[in-house]
Structure 1
Amino acid sequence: MRPRMAVAAVGAMVVVAALGACSKNTGGGGNGGNENDVTKNTGGISNNPKDSQGPAPAVAGAKQGGDLQILQTSDFEHLDGQRTYVVQAMSAEQLFSRTLTMFKQGKNGKLTLVGDLATGPGKDLDGSKCMNWEYTLKDGLKYEDGSAITAKDVAYGISRSFSSQIAEGPHYLAQWLSNSVDYNKTYKGPYNGGADIAPGLEVKGDKTLIFHFKAPHCDLPFALQLPTSTPVPKAQDKGAKYDLHPFSSGPYKIKTYNRGSKLVLERNKYWDAKTDPIRHAYPNTITYTFGPTDTTETNRMIADAGPDQYAVAQENVPQALVPKVTGNASLKNRTISGQGPFVYYMAINTQTVKDQKVREAMAYALDRKAIIQTVGGDALATPATTLLSPTVIGWKNYNTFDGGASGNAAKAKELLAGKKPKLIFGYRNNPWGQRLAPAVQQAMEKAGFQIVLKPVDPENYFTELGRKDNPFDFYITDWAADWPTGAAVLPVLTDGRSIQPNGNNDVSYYNDDAYNKKLDAASKLPSDQSADDWAKLDQEWSKFAATVPVYFNKSLSLTGSKVGGVELSTDLGTNVYTSVYLK
């Protein structure tokens, strides 16, 4: 998934998952899991019904009331659950949208998957064959107008994700249901006369939804915690305009939304805490204000004056202010920090940069040290030479094109053999991207390239990169696994069969048939058997020089002194507000 920030990251789009992805649902109670579960970072899947029941445990010291202010540099690309694949938007959506399942985060950051709208993480009807799954909705689930949330609404929401008109979100479910990476070849979604419910989905009454697959998909409970399973009543669906007011199924609803300026959330009086094991609704309102730079946000938090005592800086502390923040002991209790799950990488558009030698030269020319300095230094990033993150099971380190910490311009020039390629670098036009772009340009031009810098609207950055006909030769983007196995990274970012006109996550646009077959083979293995395969495929992919890892992210942000309960999500790698309160 991709974050937004700077995006922190990755945030944020995910699509393809392998057609046969299968990591066995071994259960595991709410008090922890076992090493056969999907990852050491999770407590597994809880099949204990009590873990999926509400209300969520009260937060010590929390009280209701007040108005929380969240400062954010740019508006969200999307708030429509079926279009969302950026983590800051996913964080916001947790406040007004619910999904069939969701991760519950413990105090130590350990994640356990539980039922959110559903009574549990799902029932495998075939006894571990993972081809037919049943979900039952809880009693008492209601939208912001008091109407009941139904299984048909969940099925309709998932069916929307097949449409090319709203193609930016995760495509796991569409690909698994269609048994094809070309998921909308036959069924194109409910618009333009299409059926309301996608083939493979069965609705029984108001509360039961059954998934029928042609291949095993044991990861389904994990895929359903993504916003693709957000319920959408057909009568409320406005197509692309649904972005402006998703219909609330959570503790808050949208009061006002002025694109590019402000989003105000207020309590949804029909949300029943007894149905929700994760969320609270302590503040009266939550307001996102778009526009302040990361520097402005951080300085306002440091000053902690007036209304800013009740505010949160969404962006990471910028490079220039890191020493001031980390060296001030009084800010420690207001600091949200930790290792993030995102890998930032340079994606080379192989449709335009077809010469392998040129791509290899770009890899050698890359100056990781300079880039890391622009994003905040060691406090916010560490060098990366692998596409998989160290947080993914089975990760192994490698460095295919080792240019050293600051790149190897001489080696790059040798590969270019006198050529001086002119390349367009598309960068995110926000403070993060504006600082990063000159560092990239300088390193590449030192190696003999001619680099044209082209800014991209930060609110549409991933959308633009995901267009097959985008006008750029390379860009720096990011990714974090939707759950910590290679199945949630490599098939998404490297399977060229998934390439569509829009909504792509394989933004290198590289396709290799032999490599794709190895993806399929690894995807059919249970997660406890596939870790080595994913690590090998990670290194094999690197040899195409289609993507070049740059850095692993860290998080460091501040809150006002009157804010409590903000957590750094182990899953999303960004701040989440399901337990936030004001003092």
Structure 2
Amino acid sequence: MRPRLAVAAVGAVALLATVGACSKNTGSNESGGGQGSTQSGSIATDPADSQGPAKPISGAKTGGTLYQYAEADFDHLDPTRAYVNNATAVTNLFARTLTMFQDAGNGKLKLVGDLATTPGKDVSTGTKCTSWEFTLKSGMKYEDGSTITAADVAYGVARSFSPDLAEGPHYIQQWLANDVNYNKTYKGPYNGGAAIPPGVKVDGNKITFNFKQPHCDMPFAASWGTTTPLPKAKDTRTKLDLHPFSSGPYKVETYTRDSKLVLDRNKFWDPKTDAVRHAYFDKFETDIGQTADQQANSIKASQGKSANAVMGANVPPALIPAVQGDPAVKSRVAAGFTQFVWYMAINNQRITDLRERQALNYGFDRRSFIQALGGSTAGDPATTLLSPTTIGFKKYDAYPFNVDKAKQLLGNKHPKLVFAFANTAQWQKRATNVQSTLQKIGFKIVLKPIDAASYYTEIGRKDNQFDLYFAGWGSDWPSGSTIIPPVFDGRNIQAQGNSTYPYFNSDSVNTQIDKLSKQTATQAAPGWAKLDKDIMTKYAPVVPVWYDKAYQLYGTNVGNMKIGQSTGWPVYFNAYLKNGK
């Protein structure tokens, strides 16, 4: 599985994911100051929950333009390829999928049918979760007024098999092919394949997915852009990135790469068919090219269109005191836990001594490092592999900070380790922090800068010559099933392109992964939490460092701007402009 991406601490960085009512999260909010929330999740069992219109936002007004400021352009806006959270938050405005989360920014997620009348029906005749049926709602139309069909959904899935569109999530493709290398034989319609992929059946307004193995997370996977409908006649292949075809409340008016994206209303969108989205503002505009400092200063002043704007980045550490020192400004911060956990990966191929890995865990000063990030607004100290936003999360600390214990584990040894980092001004400072901390307990740390643009390519090589490096991961939906397997299942390790950055492989862990992956979210939640703790206490393959938080400023005229835990980004479709203009 490929890593989900987030706009965060290394520019655009790789991070990173059943059915039945999901159990409540057992974690607690330890962030202080209301800057976070733990999550409870559910999947709709009442078909009425999937019917529109979405519940009105109290006090919301209609009209005006909502602006988002961004430092860099989107990676992709083709919903099939979008896998960076700033992009998926925007594609949710114009692209519909079979299912989707109702996300009010309060951590209470509910998965409902979006294009579909329900979140899906298990119609397996033998083994459960091997056959999933979705029935499309009637009355849904594209931006040109044509009708959205089940065949269009199937075609959208088919094109996702193309090697030319490889950037998005691969869950459904791999499940249909029953192979990690999902396009070995069927490569989609661009390469001579049928418009309906193997394993998919269309019957009128119904679409069915048939798998050889049980995949109880299918309703969640169906919320990703893989199931965005597209008529074959509107498929411009890789050029769809420049002008996606809308099935949602907004459509692309203009898009100039590295400059500006403007969305306006899709007059054919019917709110009665949509249980998730609102469409309060008339237009949505992303202005590209402002640094985080420029964004924060402009929106802090909130003059002109900045009164209608939201940051496309976190408030920089140097500006946080000014934001927090003014109650009127501090009240305009969208803050909260994202689903991402950052960790220092230990290359288990090179550091094979468990005692050394344990010493790294005991001796790493998380709080000092987080202060360098910007303090508690950036994150909370992490001691687990799962985020507090994960269903079934349980807090534990297998390695409380203890310099003496770390030194004791090393004995009189002084291992020489290479710490690799993205060669940016921020990470140069953080690398020095890591070096200073670990040398205090006896390690000799050699710093190895890597060009930021190729950082994840380099650490994703199995034969990389680094011992330590930072990475992060966030769930694609709030279950351990999209956190632990992509990073800690050693069977996924390849020569290059890895997301298994610790290069950790344990037969017993892999066996548990296989067992839990066949269970529903409710059944598996305690098991994922237990496996999280088992991996850390028995093997210490990484050093968890911080639970990521968003801290984004918005203008004085923006209402109901909150961080969504389904994306770790503002929920634009729930926002409005207070004066309607």
What band does the TM-score fall into relative to the shorter chain?
0.7 to 0.9
Secondary structure at the aligned position of 2:254 is classed as: strand
Q: Which residue of 1 aligns with 2:233?
A: 235
Secondary structure at the aligned position of 1:184 is classed as: coil
Output the TM-score relative to the length of structure 2.
0.85
Secondary structure at the aligned position of 1:153 is classed as: helix
1:15-55 CA-partner distances (Å, limit 9, x unpaired): xxxxxxxx3435xxxxxx87699xx9445222333322222
Q: Which residue of 2 aligns with 1:167?
A: 166
1:121-142 CA-partner distances (Å, limit 9, x unpaired): 1122248932222111122222
How far is 1:12 from its partner?
5.3
* Equivalent position to 1:342, from 340, 355, 366: 340
Contact 2:419–2:469 (CA under 8 A) maintained in structure 1: no
C-alpha spacing 1:230/1:42, structure 2 compared with 1 (3 Å): farther
Alignment of 1:164-313 (within 5 A): 164-205=163-204, 207-313=205-311
What residue identity is the alignment partner of 1:6?
Answer: A
* Equivalent position to 1:115, from 95, 101, 113: 113
* Equivalent position to 1:318, from 297, 316, 319: 316
1:492 aligns with 2:511: no
* Equivalent position to 2:444, from 448, 473, 479: 448
What residue identity is the alignment partner of 1:255?
Answer: E
Secondary structure at the aligned position of 2:522 is classed as: helix
> Percent identity, aligned pairs only?
47
Query: Which segment is superposed worse, 564-573 or 189-198?
Result: 189-198
Pairwise CA RMSD: 3.4
Contact 1:9–1:477 (CA under 8 A) maintained in structure 2: no
Q: Which residue of 2 aligns with 1:576?
A: 571
1:559 aligns with 2:557: no
How far is 1:352 from its partner?
6.8
* Equivalent position to 1:6, from 3, 9, 12: 9
CA distance in 2, matches of 1:166, 1:469: 27
CA distance in 2, matches of 1:117, 1:432: 43
Secondary structure at the aligned position of 2:252 is classed as: strand
1:140 aligns with 2:139: yes
Q: Which residue of 1 aligns with 2:32?
A: none
CA distance in 1, matches of 2:194, 2:351: 41
What residue identity is the alignment partner of 2:471?
Answer: T
Q: Which residue of 2 aligns with 1:370?
A: 368
1:272-312 CA-partner distances (Å, limit 9, x unpaired): 22221222222232111233232222222221122211111
1:58 aligns with 2:56: yes
Secondary structure at the aligned position of 1:297 is classed as: helix
1:515 aligns with 2:476: no
1:86-119 CA-partner distances (Å, limit 9, x unpaired): 2222111111111111111357542221111111
C-alpha spacing 1:524/1:49, structure 2 compared with 1 (3 Å): closer
C-alpha spacing 1:126/1:562, structure 2 compared with 1 (3 Å): same
Q: Which residue of 1 aligns with 2:522?
A: 528
Q: Which residue of 2 aligns with 1:19?
A: none
What residue identity is the alignment partner of 1:3?
Answer: A
Contact 2:23–2:40 (CA under 8 A) maintained in structure 1: no
Q: Which residue of 1 aligns with 2:67?
A: 69
* Equivalent position to 2:97, from 77, 96, 99: 99
What residue identity is the alignment partner of 1:346?
Answer: M
CA distance in 2, matches of 1:348, 1:241: 40
Output the TM-score relative to the length of structure 1.
0.85
Secondary structure at the aligned position of 2:226 is classed as: helix
1:237-266 CA-partner distances (Å, limit 9, x unpaired): 344443333222111222232333322222
Contact 1:142–1:249 (CA under 8 A) maintained in structure 2: yes
1:312-361 CA-partner distances (Å, limit 9, x unpaired): 11222222222322232222442222233321112345567777677666
CA distance in 2, matches of 1:268, 1:463: 39
* Equivalent position to 2:531, from 533, 537, 540: 537
How far is 1:453 from its partner?
1.6
1:153 aligns with 2:152: yes
C-alpha spacing 1:396/1:46, structure 2 compared with 1 (3 Å): closer
Structure 2 spans left out of the alignment, 5+ residues: 27-37
